[in-house]
């Protein structure tokens, strides 16, 4: 009887600790919405390679920055800009020395309607549309880039009343994809593989370069391995397959 009780007690204790053992290699990563598809593919490849499961959360970089400041339990952060990871490192919320550019983002003017966006982006100046979608500049770097372009080209005042803002670049894409907005500014990665509709790549010199930086928030072997994977040949191949540029030297 004593042996049976000991056995049952052992099973009970094992049941209690098993969840922690199973999740020991899991990591939580906050990911800028523009990097959604690339991150999913990279996380799947990383898990097959290492056995570590990467739990991904997607949203605007500004929103994640605020959450991390308030103690959100992320192990790493893939931002759409360099500003917020730099601040986190300075504030002691990111692991010093782990910050790097994992991708360079590209801004695109896109419409779900074929032929609506011309090869020079002149459709905006013509103004023959009701709504122009952009990501909210307050939280999304791609929204900042869109506003920079419009102001540099002297178009902002003319279209300001037609602008609709998405809380993230993902919602902005949704506005355009469903026809709620005839056109708008999205990330090249969101339309790179689909070929749907019509698009024009905004000249890189018309907005501040989007150096999308990653930073480790908790110093764990799994977290470091994840960031290292993004910089590996396999990781770079996945990232560039979505239209991103990567500096590999």
For residue 245, tell me if it sits in a domain.
no
Domain count, the chain: 2
pLDDT attached to residue 249: 57
**In this predicted model, what pLDDT tens digit does every residue of 193-214 receive, in sequence order?**
998 999 999 999 999 999 999 9
- Structural domain range at position 85: 2-104+209-240
**In this predicted model, what pLDDT tens digit does every residue of 151-172 receive, in sequence order?**
999 999 999 999 999 999 999 9
Distance CA 20, CA 18 (A): 5
Q: Which two tokens stand for residue 55?
A: 């739990």
For residue 249, tell me if it sits in a domain.
no
**In this predicted model, what pLDDT tens digit does every residue of 94-129 receive, in sequence order?**
999 999 999 999 999 999 999 999 999 999 999 999
**In this predicted model, what pLDDT tens digit does every residue of 51-67 receive, in sequence order?**
999 999 999 999 999 99
Q: What share of the chain is helix, strand, coil (3-state, %, to 5)?
A: 45, 20, 35
Distance CA 211, CA 238 (A): 17
Task: CATH number of the domain at 216, please.
Answer: 3.40.190.10
Annotated binding site: 61, 169
Reduced to 3 states, what is the DSSP secondary structure of residue 8? helix
pLDDT > 90? residue 184? yes
This prediction's pTM: 0.85
Same domain flag for 14 and 100: yes
Annotated binding site for molybdate: 61, 169
């Amino acid at each position: 009887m004593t042996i049976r009780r000991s056995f049952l007690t052992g099973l009970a204790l094992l049941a209690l600790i098993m969840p922690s053992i199973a999740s020991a290699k899991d990591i939580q990563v906050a990911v800028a919405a523009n990097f959604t598809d690339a991150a999913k593919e990279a996380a799947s490849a990383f898990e097959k390679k290492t056995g570590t499961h990467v739990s991904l959360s997607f949203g605007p970089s500004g929103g994640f920055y605020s959450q991390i400041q308030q103690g959100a339990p992320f192990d790493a952060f893939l931002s759409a800009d360099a500003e917020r990871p730099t601040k986190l490192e300075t504030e002691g919320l990111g692991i010093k020395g782990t910050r790097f550019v994992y991708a360079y983002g590209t801004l695109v003017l896109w419409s779900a309607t074929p032929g609506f966006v011309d090869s020079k982006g002149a459709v905006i100046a013509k103004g023959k549309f009701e709504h122009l979608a952009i990501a909210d500049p307050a939280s999304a770097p791609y929204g900042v880039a869109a506003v920079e372009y419009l102001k540099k080209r002297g178009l902002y005042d003319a279209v300001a009343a037609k602008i609709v803002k998405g809380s993230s670049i993902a919602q902005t894409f949704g506005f355009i994809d469903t026809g709620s907005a005839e056109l708008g500014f999205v990330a090249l990665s969101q339309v790179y593989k689909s070929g749907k509709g019509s698009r024009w790549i905004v000249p890189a010199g018309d907005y501040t370069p989007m150096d999308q930086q990653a930073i480790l928030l908790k110093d764990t072997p799994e977290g470091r391995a994840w960031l290292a994977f993004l910089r590996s040949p396999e990781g770079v191949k996945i990232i560039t397959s979505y239209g991103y540029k990567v500096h590999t030297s």
